[in-house]
Amino acid sequence: MYPSAFRASAYGVYGESILFGKNKYLYYYSLVVTPIIFASLFLGAAFYLRLKKMR
């Protein structure tokens, strides 16, 4: 299993989890978690690039 697929399954990004299988609550959870993951990724990248630019 690829690391990205494992992370998606572990965090329930696509509505399916390693621990709980697939159910409707995980689908709703994935709708909330996925934007947070993307936001943290882009904010982290922007912060890193800005910090690197300041030096």
Q: How confident is the model at residue 54 (pLDDT cuts 50, 70, 90)?
A: low
Backbone angles phi, psi at 28, to 5 degrees: -65, -40
Residues whose CB is less than 8 angstroms from the CB of residue 37 and which lie 6 or more positions away in sequence, other chains included: 11, 13
What pLDDT, in 10s, does the model give residues 13-40?
Answer: 776 766 666 777 777 777 888 888 889 8
pLDDT of 7: 75
pLDDT of 18: 66
Task: State the pTM of this model.
Answer: 0.48
